[in-house]
Amino acid sequence: MNNFADRLIHQIQRKKSCIIVGLDPRVELIPRSENRRQKTDAQSIAQTLLRFNKKIIDLVADEVVGVKPQSAFYEKYGYRGVKAWWETLAYAKEKGLITIADVKRGDVPSTAEAYAEAYLGKSERDVIDAITVNPFLGGDSLQPFIKLAQVNGKGLFVLVKTSNLGSKDFQDKTLAEGQRFYEYLAGCVRAWGRDLIGKRGYSSVGAVVGATFPEEAKRLRELMPEQFFLVPGYGAQGGKAADVSVCFKPDGLGALITAARSIIHAYQDPTDKNWEEKVISATRQMNKDVTRKHEK
């Protein structure tokens, strides 16, 4: 199966889950039992993050379809953090999970080519299934990603309407022709994804659509019938189960709901001895809330 969307649907149905766990660990929230020495140098923190991520992956693997480590939380610790990020992706891949690298890259074509090779290439580090990309630089800036996704059976999620309040500033702007910018973008994403539609009718070029703006998400669902939505903003950012409902298609597919803090740090208190159970039960609860009701 060399189409990302087809592989994704296979995993969603096998796992009976549409949850993607954001692996964005904050070192100060890692359980004391997993971080006894409390060292503060980049090397020690990077190792702590990796160890914690592996534990989280083991805990949630049965309940989720994949993971999404956000690059920023690792880049913060220099190349040592980046190493831990790659090792996290490798471990998740080994455990049979879909891996989404949340990098939001976007650059002029010659540079985008280098980014595409970095994250969608067939190097020794071939542990990524899909990445997030930023469309601000225009169509030609995304072509290297689209091309490599097609050749290597990888996926893309293009930012269309993000979950933050400030997404109103530019993404909601009304264009001279009367459309909102995010609506216009949706048409572009659909066109970019046309050559990557799999056997199940979904494209490997998806869209990032925040759970925090259900009205806009509903409209975007109409405009992008072949797109999988990667939906951030559930849980800690305020998105509710009802809000994400509009992101699903009548076939019960089409949406991947992400949550980070509300899952990986569900226990809240780092001294909590039952932290593992709390991570598991938060994941199960979320799966019940957002996946089960859309099951067909």
Give me the residues paired with residue 231 across strands: 257
- In the complex, what is the shortest distance from the CB of residue 220 to a copy of itself, in angstroms, rounded to a whole number? 16
Residues 6+ apart with CB under 8 A from 250: none
Q: Which residues bind a copy of itself (CB under 8 A)?
A: 24, 42, 70, 72-73, 75-80, 82-83, 85-86, 104-109, 111-112, 114-115, 117-119, 121, 123-125, 134-141, 159, 162-171, 173-176, 178, 181, 184-185, 188, 232, 237
Select 66 or 232, whichever has its Cβ closest to a copy of itself: 232
Strands 19-22 and 66-68: parallel
Select 176 or 250, whichever has its Cβ closest to a copy of itself: 176
Residue 48 structure tokens: 């702590």
Contact 220, 207 (CB under 8 A): yes
Q: What is the DSSP string of 184-224?
A: HHHHHHHHHTGGGB-TTS-BSEEEEE-TT-HHHHHHHHHH-
- In the complex, what is the shortest distance from the CB of residue 214 to a copy of itself, in angstroms, rounded to a whole number? 17
- In the complex, what is the shortest distance from the CB of residue 135 to a copy of itself, in angstroms, rounded to a whole number? 7
Contact 229, 254 (CB under 8 A): yes
Residue 63 structure tokens: 């309940």
**DSSP letter at 258?**
E
Catalytic residues, by residue number, are: 104
Measure the CA–CA gap between 18 and 9, rounded to whole angstroms: 9
Select 198 or 214, whichever has its Cβ closest to a copy of itself: 214
- In the complex, what is the shortest distance from the CB of residue 32 to a copy of itself, in angstroms, rounded to a whole number? 22
Select 2 or 174, whichever has its Cβ closest to a copy of itself: 174
- In the complex, what is the shortest distance from the CB of residue 149 to a copy of itself, in angstroms, rounded to a whole number? 17
Which candidate, 217, 197, 195, places its Cα nearest to that of 207?
217
Residue 124 structure tokens: 């020794």
Contact 243, 255 (CB under 8 A): no
Select 9 or 247, whichever has its Cβ closest to a copy of itself: 247
